[in-house]
Chain A
């Protein structure tokens, strides 16, 4: 059946809604192969149809539809991955954790870098350059100035904006200003306890 591989690619993304599966280079290649094969066949049939044999017109038509479908599946796959990568920038910050980095291919990594750059440029431009506002922080309305956090992994020393050093040992509890902890909480090093 035509365009089977394309549908498989889309299904792969659909099944893995919470995370980004590795870039299925094989799948993409197969879809492009199929498209090329279909196109060559079509060319042959089209030239013969032009030459006068009209029975090939339906097969040309079918192959053309299959080609369109393949293209659409492939575009959907690529575009959806892009959307997820953009989301990751908002969630994890400008440095991706290594397990996600392993799942994206080179052009996607390039896209991520460019996206981060334009986002950073935008953030710097608000406020007339007096200072830049980090839009990825402050995701929830602030309730307290200080929050209690528990350290889940051994992190070592961490310096706050005021210059205080906090030693983040595993299973130690801390009371820290909210703004300092937000990044660490997003990375999973600290855990908020009420």
Chain B
């Protein structure tokens, strides 16, 4: 993957639009190549994490704008030029990463539907949401559709006292104890991990560039502030 992302970013720099910049939440400015790299990291994290992570909407939007600009520029070059093929490939690759990222998120939303909707209802106003507005709308629609369907086909015909289903019993929650490989980007405070017995705990030091296999629960907060990456 490393060489793959390397090629991708080099080509972005060759092309004219390398100087367009994007904003993140903290008003940092990223160049196009850095944006692509960041998207790839988020994509991998999303793919390997057992639960839904926070959405990178700005990144996605910005990269989609990028690809649109690139495509418009490509119209100007003739088809047989070597550069045309190269840049088209790059556009396709970026589009693939974005599509895959969004697809994985949708999959997780469909899987953990009840759990996520519960969390949404419970969260406070100022806490960031794990779902974008559109994802939330999608999830709510899916939920109501499923319920109506089950009601029409089955529950409606059942005896009166059985017409409700307790959806709370049937939701799946993500398994936060599954193990994941992590690579540490910056020095981080060490985490405590249970060593297999019920009481004992081991302290694992997290030095920069080290790699570990840890339960997801212990590093989830670190993942959120970007100090570790999943492999």
Contacts and interface: CB of A to CB of B under 8 A. Distances in A.
Interface stretch (A52-60, A93-101, A125-133, A166-174): A125-133
Nearest to A133: B99
Contacts of A134: 99
Interface string A121-152: 11001111011011101100110010000000
B116 to A, nearest CB: 15
A125 B106 CA distance: 14
Interface in B64-123: 64-65, 68, 85, 88-89, 92-93, 95-96, 98-100, 102-103, 106, 110
Given A35-B159, A128-B61, A75 B165 contact: yes
Contacts of B60: 126-127
A71 B150 CA distance: 11
B135 A122 contact: yes
Interface string B143-183: 00110011011100111001001000000000000000000
Contacts of A122: 106, 134-135, 137-138
Contacts, number: 101
A108 interface: yes
A138 B162 CA distance: 44
Interface residues of A, number: 41
Contacts of B134: 121-122, 125-126
A135 B96 CA distance: 9
A122 B60 CA distance: 14
Contacts of A35: 158-159, 162
Interface string A70-102: 010011001100100010000000000000000
Given A32-B157, A75-B150, A138 B138 contact: no
B13 interface: no
Contact of B93 (A32, A121, A141): A141
A114 interface: yes
For A39, A119, A127, A137, which residue has the most chain B Cβ atoms within 10 angstroms? A127
A67 B159 contact: yes
9 contacts: A79-B146, A82-B146, A105-B153, A108-B149, A115-B142, A126-B64, A135-B99, A135-B106, A142-B93
